[in-house]
Chains A and B, each alone.
Chain A
Amino acid sequence: MQPTSSMKEEFLKKWQMGIQICGPSIDNTSVSERKKVIKLSADVAMASLRKGTTCWSRALIQKTATEDNSLVRQMLSGIKAETLINKTLPKKTLCHRKIVRRSKKILMRRNARSASEEAAAKAKKLVKRKTQGLRSVVPGGEFMNNDVLLIQETLDYIVSLQTQVNVMRSIVDATEAGIER
């Protein structure tokens, strides 16, 4: 599942559109401002590749919309921007921490385990912690309470990120080559 050229092309077009939309307004701004715009437009372009079918893209669009709403709206004009921005993500499962802890204690007391079981439990805990880490890394990951869904979305996110990085790097390389000559 390597990033395909059609994906790259689409991403590049969207990104270019985003930069052109806010091109004239940031001509004379600082580097950090410019960087922010480039990053935002690249993110939105990447997220709009999926047209809101994946959880992470929706979360990313929502996140970028809080930073620069008008840009996102203009970039997503082809798609229904409103529905994407205001689309409700799957609800986060909330549970009271104290209650969870107490129930865990009771469970621990109930089954005193052997050494091998202890090791297995530790490994399980480690995997759980790592999964939580992955949730925090993937946009919108905290809404995916399903492990299968999380891994699927991570797959998709990684492919899109690879596309983004590939295109951006080739552009940077090209501009650098231009500078050198």
Chain B
Amino acid sequence: MMMDGATEADLFLHCTDMSVLERQRAHLNYHHPGLDSTLAGFFSDSSMIHAGGFLGTAGLEFPVIYGETTMESESRLSISPEKITPASFGSGNFKKRKFDSVVTETKDLDEKKKKKKMRNREEVEVEVEEEEKSKITEQNNESTKSIMKMNKKSRKEQNDCSNGSSKVTKEMQKSDYIHVRARRGQATDSHSIAERARREKISERMKFLQDLVPGCDKITGKAGMLDEIINYVQSLQRQVEFLSMKLAAVSPRMDFDIDEFFAKEVVSAPVTNLANNVTPSHEMVNCCYPHEMVNSGYLHFNPMQQHQNCQAPSMWDSDVQNLYSSLGV
């Protein structure tokens, strides 16, 4: 069972996949302890092979590295000792892998590789953990399948199976963070996907703006819409300017009772008790600003027209005139 069929190089190439299988089996055992007996039945001939015995032979052949291999095997076994020892199969694979490494590498190279393997194993562990979280049943099915195939002792199939399981994990990892889908004919590299997401965001916001800005819903095209938005914002700013000026002119002492006003504003009724503070000169100012101008949505006011409408421009406060010119409209 240990050396049959496969070349050493082949085994070496798939050593990480082997560890995946090992893990899978460990999980399987963990979740279905009843399967242990069947496993034992399947591999009754090989399950009795003792790790120590094998290591003994390895140690005999390569006495220099013996200590290291035992160390690593111990560390490996310590992660899940009860799970791996009954599945002697996995540990057997592992031993073989050690054996390969012993054959091909020198001592210090071996150390480097060990580190690398540790890293690999960590990655695999992470993968397997994720798998465990999400698709336990599927994994169990797959691992049972793999066991059946291994029972036939066909190396290739085993490798394929392990590759398949690793593929599944990779696909699942991918599906975790990709949300943007490319339609037919669209580019799929990360930059274009990001750009597309950005554009979608902008168009979504622009739709909100269209709802907000009056008269903007009839305009198609981004440039026209932006134009309309700029106009609207400017008109609002001008309105604020104009209204504040008007307020300054209307209530010079600025002690109008906003609280009372607000109480009535909720009922949307006009307030009457503000007349006390008004000086008579401001009635003139009021007549200079026609009421409909204030109420119109857009306030593109025209000073020339105002002058024509005004019957007595000479009666204006010089202050107010200055203000008008300072508005720059």
Contacts and interface: CB of A to CB of B under 8 A. Distances in A.
B254 A30 contact: no
B248 A38 contact: yes
B240 interface: yes
Could you tell me the dominant secondary structure of chain B's interface residues? helix
Contact of A42 (B201, B240, B266, B326): B240
A35 B265 contact: no
Contacts of A126: 223
A172 B233 contact: no
Given A30-B319, A31-B249, A179-B282, A39 B236 contact: no
B133 interface: no
Interface in A27-69: 27, 30-32, 34-35, 37-39, 42-43
A173 B209 CA distance: 28
Interface string A142-181: 0000011001101101110110110011111111111101
A131 B239 contact: no
Interface residues of A, number: 56
B141 interface: no
Nearest to B238: A165
A126 B254 CA distance: 46
A19 B262 contact: no
Contact of A170 (B201, B265, B286, B323): B265
A95 interface: no
Interface in A130-148: 130-131, 133-134, 137-138, 147-148
B250 A175 contact: yes
Contacts of A118: none
Contacts of A159: 212
* Contact-residue size bin, chain B (C-beta under 8 Å from the other chain): 35 or more
A178 B262 contact: no
Contact of A161 (B233, B253, B262, B265): B233
Interface string A93-122: 000000000000000000000000000000
B82 to A, nearest CB: 55
A155 B274 contact: no
B253 A148 contact: no
Nearest to B327: A35
Given A127-B223, A172-B246, 19 more contacts: A31-B319, A35-B248, A38-B244, A38-B247, A127-B226, A137-B233, A148-B205, A154-B233, A158-B212, A158-B232, A161-B233, A161-B237, A162-B236, A164-B236, A165-B240, A168-B239, A174-B264, A175-B271, A181-B275
Interface of A: 1, 5, 9, 12-13, 15-16, 19, 23, 26-27, 30-32, 34-35, 37-39, 42-43, 123, 126-127, 130-131, 133-134, 137-138, 147-148, 151-152, 154-155, 157-159, 161-162, 164-165, 168-179, 181
23 contacts: A5-B266, A12-B262, A26-B254, A31-B249, A31-B317, A34-B252, A37-B254, A42-B244, A123-B223, A152-B205, A154-B229, A155-B208, A158-B232, A165-B236, A165-B240, A165-B243, A169-B295, A171-B258, A172-B247, A174-B264, A175-B271, A176-B286, A179-B278
User: Lowest 7 CB-CB distances: which A-B pairs, in order?
Assistant: A130-B226, A34-B248, A178-B274, A35-B248, A177-B270, A178-B275, A39-B244
